[in-house]
């Protein structure tokens, strides 16, 4: 999970852990890309507005090294940001505030589809 807000990091971690995943957290895009290289995750959440490199560039860098599910969780509701995220390689775009159950359900659906392959 790549999220600069500590409270949201805690919430997302709790949701993903309830889905049975081990969670590694990063507060910046650069830290997140390094964590992806090290951990080879199956699911990655990314915020759009972060210090240093933004979420769009973070997604591009991650997509070049990973085929993990990338879920954007962002307060940015502008359609062009969603389009840019998806074009950069994100799989899903969720806006904050979000229902934790919706995130868990989307992650569970994707993980199930991976198991079915």
Inter-residue contact 77 to 97 (CB < 8 Å): no
With 90 as the cut, is the pLDDT of residue 103 above it? no
Domain 6-110 maps to which CATH number in 3.40.50.1820, 1.10.3720.10, 3.40.50.2300, 3.40.50.970?
3.40.50.2300
Tell me the torsion sign for CA atoms 49, 53, 57, 58.
Answer: negative
- Reported as a single tens digit per residue, the pLDDT across 18-59 is 888 899 999 999 999 999 999 989 899 999 998 889 999 999
Predicted confidence at residue 96, as pLDDT, reads: 85
Residue 114 in this model has a pLDDT that exceeds 80? no
* Contact partners, residue 35, CB within 8 Å, separation at least 6: 2, 24, 26, 41
Query: How high is the pLDDT of residue 117?
Result: 64
What's the pLDDT at 3?
Answer: 94
Going from N- to C-terminal start, the domains of the chain cover 6-110
């Amino acid at each position: 999970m790549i999220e600069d807000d500590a409270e949201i990091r805690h919430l997302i971690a709790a949701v993903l852990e309830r889905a049975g995943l081990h969670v590694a957290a990063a507060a910046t895009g650069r830290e997140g890309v390094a964590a992806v290289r090290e951990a080879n995750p199956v699911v990655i959440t990314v915020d759009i507005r972060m210090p240093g490199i933004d979420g769009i560039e973070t997604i591009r860098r991650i997509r070049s090294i990973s085929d993990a599910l990338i879920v954007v969780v962002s307060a940015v509701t502008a359609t062009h940001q969603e389009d840019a995220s998806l074009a950069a390689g994100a799989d899903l775009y969720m806006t904050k505030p979000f229902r934790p159950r919706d995130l868990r359900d989307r992650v569970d659906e994707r993980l199930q589809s991976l198991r079915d392959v």
